[in-house]
């Protein structure tokens, strides 16, 4: 017989954020995220540095999450970790830490798929989010590491119907931003500068990818060649056109994404669209989706930013659904760098 109140601690360490969350059923009590700043100077995540930083951060982050939730380790009913996909060295930190908690506290261990977490983040309940999408819905996970379109039939039945063949959309923002001379991660800065620019000033290549898959490396190359040509004529070209460059790039990236969402909605006849991942903070994407929602009678869900970027709350919500069905892992369960959305 299921207890009425289930307390779960979840830990996420798949990339460069160390995070711990405590949930009471589907309600978030705390969600602490420690972002590793060490990678900024390298212009991207350095895996070896990430796993070392996770080791340093994990105890204080878990401690803070429990304190903020107002509970102790002894109150927990289960512990959860991100099993994959992600950086192996990073994943192993939460994996071994949480396994030792499960063993010492004698409570169930729950391994969670990070990509399922991004999609089910819409079901987290807190003061800023009390509505969730009805099934089936189309999920788009868009971040620095992922670009996936997923048909979500229920909490555990998910099918990838489109994904990037090369760069992730956030990677395209970061790499093109680097060419524009912007600091990493460049997405938020491009978004800000784009507001002052003309989105139609420059035309960049849109890839012709069949079905529902994406490609963003062609856009990156198109920006690169264009800049090389223009800089030859005018060395100050970027400086003089920065806002228009950002606006035109963002316009193209948003169009590539939203065109595929439209196609996916037509093909599946699903009109509930739920997006997540760091890039869903982008104001161009938000505006375009709202506009399409009006035109096409879509219901669009975008979670609070706290649940878009990598966080342990999204791992805790999946763990809660798994707990209800007794989908537990055993102590031999280990991290998996490559992990399909259909795997648990």
What the block records as the tokens of 306 is 């706290």
From 188, 198, 286, 337, residue interacting with ligand KG4 (rule: CB under 6 A):
188
If we measure between CA atoms, which residue out of 120, 121, 135, 119 comes closest to residue 299?
A: 135
Site string for ligand KG4, 15-54 (x = CB under 6 A): x---------------------------------------
203 is written with which tokens? 């035309």
Radius of gyration for the chain, computed over Cα atoms and rounded to the nearest angstrom:
21
State how far the alpha carbon of 257 is from the alpha carbons of 47, 179, 216, 253, 298, in Å.
28, 21, 10, 6, 16
Q: Are 313 and 9 in contact (CB under 8 A)?
A: no
Site string for ligand KG4, 52-91 (x = CB under 6 A): ----------------------------------------
The pair of structure tokens assigned to 257 is 């994404």
Q: Which ranges constitute the DSSP H helices of the chain? A: 47-69, 88-105, 114-120, 169-179, 187-194, 217-233, 237-268, 283-296, 313-324
What does the per-residue mask of binding to ligand KG4 show for 255-284, with x meaning CB under 6 A?
A: ----------------------xxx-xx--
Residue with tokens 């972002």: 35
Chosen from ligand KG4, Zn ion, none, partner binding at 162 (C-beta under 5 to 8 Å by type):
none
Mask for 163-182, x = binds ligand KG4 (CB under 6 A): -------x--xx--------
The verdict on 139 binding ligand KG4 (CB under 6 A) reads no
Q: How many binding residues for ligand KG4 (CB under 6 A)?
A: 19
Q: Give the interface with Zn ion as residue ranges (CB under 5 A).
A: 310
Query: In this complex, which beta carbon is closest to ligand KG4, that of residue 76 or of residue 247?
Result: 247
Q: Using the rule CB under 6 A, give the single segment among 48-56, 137-145, 263-271, 313-321 that binds ligand KG4.
A: 137-145
Query: Can you give the binding site for ligand KG4, defined by CB under 6 A?
Result: 15, 143-145, 170, 173-174, 185-188, 191, 277-279, 281-282, 309-310
């Amino acid at each position: 017989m299921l207890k009425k109140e289930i307390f779960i601690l979840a830990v996420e360490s798949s990339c460069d954020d160390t995070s711990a969350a405590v949930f009471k059923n589907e309600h978030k009590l705390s969600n602490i995220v420690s972002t590793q700043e060490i990678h900024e100077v390298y212009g991207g995540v350095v895996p070896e540095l990430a796993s070392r930083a996770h080791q340093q951060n994990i105890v204080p982050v878990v401690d803070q999450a429990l304190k903020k939730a107002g509970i102790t380790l002894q109150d927990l009913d289960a512990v959860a970790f991100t099993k994959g996909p992600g950086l192996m060295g990073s994943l192993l930190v939460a994996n071994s830490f949480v396994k030792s908690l499960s063993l010492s506290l004698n409570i169930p261990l729950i391994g969670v798929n990070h990509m399922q977490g991004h999609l089910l983040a819409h079901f987290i309940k807190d003061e800023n989010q009390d509505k969730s999408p009805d099934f089936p819905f189309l999920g788009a996970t868009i971040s620095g590491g992922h670009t996936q379109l997923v048909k979500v039939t229920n909490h555990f039945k998910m099918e990838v119907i489109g994904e990037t063949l090369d760069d992730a959309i956030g990677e395209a923002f970061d790499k093109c931003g680097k060419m524009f001379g912007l600091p990493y991660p460049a997405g938020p800065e491009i978004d800000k500068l784009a507001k002052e620019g003309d989105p139609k000033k420059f035309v960049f290549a849109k890839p012709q990818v069949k079905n529902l898959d994406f490609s963003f490396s062609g856009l990156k190359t198109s920006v690169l060649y264009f800049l090389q040509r223009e800089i030859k004529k005018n060395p100050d070209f970027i400086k003089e056109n920065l806002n228009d460059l950002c606006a035109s790039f963002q316009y193209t990236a948003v169009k590539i994404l939203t065109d595929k969402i439209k196609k996916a909605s037509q093909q599946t006849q699903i009109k509930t669209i739920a997006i997540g991942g760091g890039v869903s903070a982008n104001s161009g994407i938000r505006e375009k989706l709202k506009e399409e929602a009006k035109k096409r009678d879509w219901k669009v869900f975008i979670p609070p930013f706290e649940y878009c970027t990598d966080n342990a709350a999204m791992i805790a919500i999946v763990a809660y659904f798994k707990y209800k069905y007794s989908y537990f892992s055993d102590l031999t369960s280990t991290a998996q760098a490559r992990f399909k959305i259909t795997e648990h």
